[in-house]
């Protein structure tokens, strides 16, 4: 998932921010975002998780998750 997210981050760099968090180093973040399985992708808009994917996913699935939200003013992926 990491390389897929890097590609999407470059492609959509003006509309979203991608942040990688190691849950072994930051278990409080995993708890806060209720991560059940890794890898996990949480789409955060205005400090609220609006969508999530867990486990291995494809680029089209990630893109389809993001599309409804890319027009939002402040979109971040954690």
66 with 8: CB under 8 angstroms?
Answer: yes
Instruction: Tell me the pLDDT band of 76, cut-offs 50, 70 and 90.
Output: very low
The number of domains in the chain is 1
Q: Please determine, for residue 20, whether its predicted confidence score (pLDDT) is greater than 50.
A: yes
Considering the entire predicted model, what is its pTM?
0.72
**Range of 18's domain?**
2-77
* Least confidently predicted of 2-6, 17-21, 57-61, 68-72: 68-72
Pairing of β 75-77 and β 17-18: parallel
CATH number at residue 32: 3.40.30.10
pLDDT tens digit string along 50-67?
Answer: 999 999 988 889 888 988
18 CB-near residues (< 8 Å, 6+ apart): 5, 6, 8, 9, 76, 77
């Amino acid at each position: 998932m990491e390389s897929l997210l890097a590609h999407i981050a470059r492609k959509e760099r003006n509309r979203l921010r991608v942040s990688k968090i190691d849950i072994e180093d930051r278990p409080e973040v995993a708890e806060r975002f209720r991560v059940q399985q890794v890898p996990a992708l949480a789409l955060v808009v205005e400090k609220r998780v609006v969508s999530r994917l867990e486990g291995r996913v494809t680029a089209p699935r990630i893109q389809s998750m993001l599309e409804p939200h890319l027009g939002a003013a402040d979109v971040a992926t954690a």
